Homo-oligomer: A and B are copies of this chain.
Amino acid sequence: MNKNKRAPADKENSMVRDNQNLNMRAVIEPSSIVVIGASRNPSKVGYAVLKNLITSGFNGWLYAVNPNADNILGVRCYKSIKELPQKVDCAIIAVPAENVNEIIEECGRKGVRGAIVISGGFKEVGEVKRELELTKICRKYGIAMIGPNCLGIVNRKKHVDSIFLPTYKMKRPQLGKISFVTQSGAVGSTILDLIGESNIGVSKFISYGNAAVIDESDLLRYLREDADTSVVVMYIEGVKDGRKFYRELKETCAVKPVVVLKAGKGALAAGAAKSHTGALAGDYKIFQAMLKQAGAVEATNLPELFNLSKIFLQPLPKGDRMFVLTNGGGDGVLAVDAIERNGLKLAQLSGKMRAKLRRILPKHVVVGNPFDLTGDADSTRYRTVLEEAVKEEGIDAIIAITLFQTAGLGSEVVNEIISADIKTDKTIVSVATGGEYTRLLLSIIESSGIPAYGSPSEAVDSIAKALWYYKKRGVGRGTVQSAGDGSV
């Protein structure tokens, strides 16, 4: 393993970067945790981490290490990791950078096999040697280490939350099926905050920072095999090992969707970080082609990353035949514009469906697609059409647009959309534009696994990318959910 050979950090890493032998579950699904550098001072990271583990409801063994305290926030404190009464799965380390390596060595000796190093002060500030040393120690003991210079993880099922940002400033998400992998703690935490407010939920959130041991490819492999993850979403600035990444990405895309936002696309962005301009501009084109070939869905900006994460909570569309239901004509037109721009089609409704709805609905409602229920539509009118649409063979996806603002549309239309979703394995998305009242109703819809969008174009663009993924993966491989469930 060349552990003692002097080499630049990247080279050293790439030589031993396979990491197949590491116990990823020790760090991502720990049953016992020790916080090293725990603090009584509420302004310290070591306090926030411990506090968030307690308030998030972690119910495994929890210890703290602080040489000057007996207990912090009711958690038993030890002077050093050597004194812990048992072996623990994961050490969360928040001490000054210069002490990290010594502590990791102690962890190794104590049999700890998972670690999250939150502390910064490594390669990102030029301390290449310190990071190299950290990597070596982890390799020596076989420690699956995430970091350094990261936010760490949120595992909602295990109630693990190592993020040191205050919960009043940043909401934590509910349990869900989406897992997020982010190189940037900053971008990652803002996304987590957004998801926290929505009801779409998260399985794992992993901020991996400098990737001195565990890198984005290892995380892909782990999440591919994770039965609780049905969609993987990644924010990446640079990949450590392109070949490894492509291999893991391709294998993962074959069983569950992976959405990737690549930042640092052009020469300017590269120049902002490093000094070799020009080179990376070309690199992005290659990266983009690589994503496509692997079957990953590319998001071009943050709002799109968020939009695409959600679409994969639905069964994949099996074809391009869209059905647009609305109580506002203008929104229907906007949806059709987006359908056309994406090369999708408007579903042709069968004569049977048309005849039946003509019989039931009021005269002024024109049966068609887009299906404009008109401004006086109530929930019953939505139900009537949705009940037929879910049965209609010629429809692949249903875009249910609701102007909640109209006087006649009660909030129970939310239940009609949710009921329709339960009855079908067609793709269903919800669209509504508006303020607080609208957002409240959309969040109810999202809590039942139906993605909600603030505009018709965002909904249709997302469906189009889901269809691309469906075709890329090959017809007949089932929905995302079943792929996820069957993998363990």
Residues of A within 8 A of B (CB): 43, 45, 48, 125, 164-166, 168-171, 182-191, 193-194, 196-197, 235, 237, 263-269, 272-273, 300-303, 326-334, 336-341, 345-346, 364, 368-370, 375, 403-407, 432-438, 454-458
Contacts and interface: CB of A to CB of B under 8 A. Distances in A.
Contacts of A186: 326-331, 375, 403
A333 B264 contact: yes
A268 B347 CA distance: 11
A364 B165 CA distance: 21
A125 B364 CA distance: 8
Given A303-B303, A330-B183, A454-B303, A193 B435 contact: yes
Contacts of A436: 171, 197
Contact of A264 (B187, B337, B405): B337
A337 B303 contact: no
Contacts of A375: 185-186
A266 B303 contact: no
Given A268-B340, A268-B346, A269-B337, A405 B190 contact: yes
Contact of A302 (B263, B437, B454): B454
Of listed A331, A333, A346, A456, residue having the most chain B CB within 10 A: A333
Say how many copies of this protein the assembly contains: 2
A382 to B, nearest CB: 15
B302 A457 contact: yes
Nearest to A455: B302
A164 B193 CA distance: 36
Contacts of A300: 457
Contacts of A406: 165, 169
Of listed A171, A272, A331, A455, residue having the most chain B CB within 10 A: A272
A433 B191 contact: yes
A267 B346 CA distance: 12
Contacts of A168: 437
Contacts of A404: 169
B339 A435 contact: no
Contacts of A45: 407
Given A337-B265, A457-B301, A368 B193 contact: no
Nearest to A326: B186
Of listed A166, A190, A436, residue having the most chain B CB within 10 A: A190
Given A168-B437, A197-B435, A266-B341, A332 B457 contact: no
Contacts of A433: 187, 190-191, 193-194, 302
A164 B330 contact: no
B269 A336 contact: yes
B194 A435 contact: yes
B457 A193 contact: no
A455 B301 contact: yes
A375 B188 CA distance: 13
